[in-house]
């Protein structure tokens, strides 16, 4: 479902923060991106909150070795338990993929503070997408699950249930919900070592998002072929527009139809890098954003339309930064949003 409002360059947290306190992290998010409110992943709080571990938690045969920061799938244990996952998928039992407070403290904190969500336009949840998750998660012989059709299919079903469960939980608190698949590996689709073509990738994405009734979002890094992504039913695409804005411009021919159906763009203009952040300012990032919008305008996509249908975010997750660096990034993000909304007279 498309967002029921124009996002109009509002700021949005991409996913993780380096904080160890869930309440502190959520407070920082609310102060800087309070209208589109994402629950923060906290990978420095616990190994269980690493994106891969958090997304795969509960998958049949999953072994999480916190002491050695290692996660893998025990094939024998998986084979014994995988029928239960299949049954949950067939029965749409989304509770099968519920996340505990130990696995997602930021989500638990957001749900705990549900009485104080006045002014929030939409809530956002996130998880690792099926292609990247299957490429990163290995079995007990260090073989990525993406090379095993049966386990890859089971993992997509597991992620479907996790996405649908988040959608359900957040809809209890807000009318508008965004569920975002993080797919950092999409820029290598078509290369020899990745055994998938775009048709197969789109099928996996659609399978995972099929249970989401809210806004279906997807983040990809690098020079992703956005024209291929736009052939999915995704409602919001989010990209690293700081370093790879040209990849969006390259998809200009596919953008008019996407925007016409109400699709939204997530422009990752604020860098997620300590050194780049140290030299950045609201003014310099505003110039960078306007330059990208002008490039899109030259390709036939009106800058005003893009601004109305865009959210502003960081180029990637902030989870590996220092707390000071992450909070600086969020401050710049809020300032950039205000500057662009003023530039295009958005309300």
Question: Which pLDDT band holds residue 114 (cuts at 50, 70, 90)?
Answer: confident
Q: What is the pLDDT of residues 292-310, one digit of tens each?
A: 999 999 999 999 999 999 9
Domain count, the chain: 1
Evaluate whether residue 121 is within a structural domain.
yes
SS3 233: coil
CATH number at residue 324: 3.20.20.210
Confidence (pLDDT) at 70: 95
Rounded Cα distance between 147 and 161, Å, is: 22
Cβ within 8 Å of residue 335, ≥6 positions away: 282
SS3 315: coil
Residue reference for tokens 């330059």: 291
Rounded Cα distance between 138 and 147, Å, is: 10
Do you know the residue count of the chain?
A: 347
Evaluate whether residue 305 is within a structural domain.
yes
Per DSSP, the chain holds a count of helices (H) and strands (E) of: 14, 10
The two three-digit tokens of residue 201, written as one number:
């990738």
Confidence (pLDDT) at 26: 96
The two three-digit tokens of residue 331, written as one number:
């401050």
Closest C-alpha among 26, 71, 25 to residue 48: 71
Q: What DSSP string runs through 135-196?
A: HH-BBTTS-BGGG-HHHHHHHHHHHHHHHHHHHHHHHTT-S-EEEEEEETTGGGTTSTTS--
Assess contact for 220 and 132: CB atoms under 8 A.
no
Evaluate whether residue 4 is within a structural domain.
no
Structural domain that includes position 38: 10-343
Confidence check: pLDDT of 99 > 90: yes
Evaluate whether residue 2 is within a structural domain.
no
Confidence (pLDDT) at 194: 81
Rounded Cα distance between 298 and 303, Å, is: 9
Evaluate whether residue 243 is within a structural domain.
yes
Where on the phi/psi map is residue 89: left (φ > 0), alpha (ψ -120 to 50), or beta? alpha
Evaluate whether residue 1 is within a structural domain.
no
Buried/exposed 253-286: b ≥16 CB within 10 Å, e otherwise: ebbeebbeeebbbbbbbbbbbeeebeebebeebb
SS3 217: strand
Average confidence (pLDDT) over 71-99:
97
Evaluate whether residue 169 is within a structural domain.
yes
Confidence (pLDDT) at 224: 95
pTM over 0.85: yes
Q: Is 40 exposed, middle or buried (0-12, 13-18, 19+ CB in 10 A)?
A: buried
Evaluate whether residue 3 is within a structural domain.
no
Confidence (pLDDT) at 191: 85
Q: What is the pLDDT of residues 25-58, one digit of tens each?
A: 999 999 999 999 999 999 999 999 999 999 999 9
Confidence (pLDDT) at 1: 77
Name the helix (H) or strand (E) containing 218.
Answer: strand 215-220
């Amino acid at each position: 479902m498309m967002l029921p409002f124009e996002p109009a360059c509002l700021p949005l947290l991409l996913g993780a923060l380096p904080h160890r306190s869930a309440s502190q992290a959520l407070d920082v998010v609310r102060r800087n991106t309070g209208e589109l409110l994402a629950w923060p992943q906290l990978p420095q709080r616990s190994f269980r909150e690493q994106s891969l571990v958090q997304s795969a938690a509960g998958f049949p045969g999953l072994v999480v070795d916190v002491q050695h920061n290692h996660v893998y799938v025990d094939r024998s244990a998986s084979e014994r338990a995988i029928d239960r996952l299949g049954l949950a998928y067939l029965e749409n039992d989304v509770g099968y993929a519920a996340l505990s407070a130990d696995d997602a403290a930021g989500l638990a904190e957001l749900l705990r503070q549900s009485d104080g969500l006045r002014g929030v336009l939409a809530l956002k949840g996130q998880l690792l997408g099926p292609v990247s998750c299957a490429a990163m998660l290995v079995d007990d012989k260090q073989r990525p699950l993406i090379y095993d059709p049966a386990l890859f299919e089971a993992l997509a079903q597991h992620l479907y249930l996790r996405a649908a469960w988040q959608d359900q939980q957040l809809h209890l608190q807000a009318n508008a919900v965004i569920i975002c698949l993080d797919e950092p590996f999409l820029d290598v689709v078509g290369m020899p070592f990745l055994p998938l073509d775009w048709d197969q990738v789109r099928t996996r994405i659609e399978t995972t998002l099929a249970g989401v009734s809210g806004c279906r979002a997807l983040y990809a890094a690098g020079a992703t072929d956005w024209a291929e992504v736009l052939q999915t039913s995704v409602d919001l695409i989010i990209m690293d527009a700081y370093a790879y804005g040209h990849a969006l411009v390259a998809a200009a021919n596919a953008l008019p139809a996407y925007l016409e159906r109400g699709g939204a763009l997530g422009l990752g203009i604020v860098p997620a890098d300590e050194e780049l952040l140290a030299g950045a300012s609201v003014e310099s990032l505003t110039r960078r954003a306007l330059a990208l919008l002008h490039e899109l305008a030259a390709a036939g996509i009106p800058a005003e339309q893009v601004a109305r249908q865009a959210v502003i975010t960081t180029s990637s997750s902030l989870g590996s930064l220092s707390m000071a660096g992450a909070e600086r990034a969020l401050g710049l993000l809020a300032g950039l949003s205000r500057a662009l909304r003023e530039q295009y007279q958005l309300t």
